[in-house]
């Protein structure tokens, strides 16, 4: 997953209605393809979903979903003036949200509130806050 923060807001996506987990709020990202590094997959997914070029900074967390998928959470940067453009095949919309706003949103993948809780409890340390 791409952890991208700007102006103390985290870049989140609402999944399109035509993909698995339709309409759920989550972070941009996707499955790592065979032979790819995590960093390469991150850059590719951010291009595919949001038409942005990101620079991976570091892995900040790993977690496992209730259905057994391992998630790699990568902190990444994007130039300050870049405006994402959602690819409607995968992403219905994107939002830059504070952690308080994320807490109030409905219909999200369980990994997103887990990620916020892990930050708040000090399990994850980020050099950016949101
Ligand atoms: N993108 C994304 N997937 C997540 C998050 N949390 C989470 O549990 N997942 C799970 O990670 C797995 C892969 O995500 P995905 O559906 O976006 O990827 P995909 O390979 O099917 O699609 P894609 O590669 O075409 O984008 C799914 O099991 C999804 O439910 C999240 O925050 N973002």
CA 125 to ligand 1 centroid distance, Å: 23
Enumerate residues lining ligand 1, CB below 6 A.
1, 20-21, 26-27, 29-31, 45, 65, 69, 71, 90, 109, 111-112
Q: Which of 2, 12, 23, 30 to mutate to test the pocket of ligand 1 (most atoms within 8 A of CB)?
A: 30
Per-residue pLDDT band for 127 (boundaries 50, 70, 90) equals very high
Q: Whole-angstrom Cα distance, residue 52 to residue 64?
A: 26
Q: How many CB atoms lie within 10 A of CB 39?
A: 17
* Residue 125 placed within a domain: no
Domain that holds residue 84: 2-120
Q: What per-residue confidence (pLDDT) applies to 26?
A: 98
* Residue 51 placed within a domain: yes
Per-residue pLDDT band for 81 (boundaries 50, 70, 90) equals very high
| Domain count across the chain | 1
Asked if the ipTM is above 0.90, the reply is: yes
* Residue 126 placed within a domain: no
The rounded percent of the chain whose pLDDT value lies above 70 is 100
Residue nearest to atom 13 of ligand 1 (CA): 30
Per-residue pLDDT band for 89 (boundaries 50, 70, 90) equals very high
User: Among positive and negative, which fits the CA dihedral 90, 79, 104, 69?
Assistant: positive
Q: What are the structure tokens assigned to 113, written together?
A: 């509130």
Quickly list DSSP for 28-90. Answer: S--PPPTT--HHHHHHHHHHHHH----EEEEEEEEEE-TTS-EEEEEEEE--TT------TTT
CA 82 to ligand 1 centroid distance, Å: 23
The CATH number covering residue 40 comes to 3.90.79.10
* Residue 30 placed within a domain: yes
16, 38, 99, 104 from 75: Cα distances, Å: 23, 12, 16, 23
* Residue 44 placed within a domain: yes
* Residue 130 placed within a domain: no
* Residue 128 placed within a domain: no
Q: Whole-angstrom Cα distance, residue 27 to residue 4?
A: 9
């Amino acid at each position: 997953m791409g952890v991208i923060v700007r102006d103390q807001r985290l870049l989140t996506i609402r999944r399109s209605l035509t993909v698995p987990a339709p309409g759920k709020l989550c972070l941009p990202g996707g499955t790592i393809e065979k032979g790819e590094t995590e960093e390469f997959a991150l850059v590719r997914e951010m291009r595919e979903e949001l038409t942005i070029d990101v620079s991976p900074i570091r892995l900040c967390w790993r977690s496992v979903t209730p259905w057994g998928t391992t998630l790699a959470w990568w902190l990444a940067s994007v130039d300050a003036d870049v405006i994402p453009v959602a690819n409607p095949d995968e992403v219905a919309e994107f939002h830059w949200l504070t952690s308080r706003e994320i807490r109030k949103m409905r219909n999200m993948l369980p990994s997103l509130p887990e990620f916020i809780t892990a930050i708040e409890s000090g399990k994850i340390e980020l050099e950016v806050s949101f």
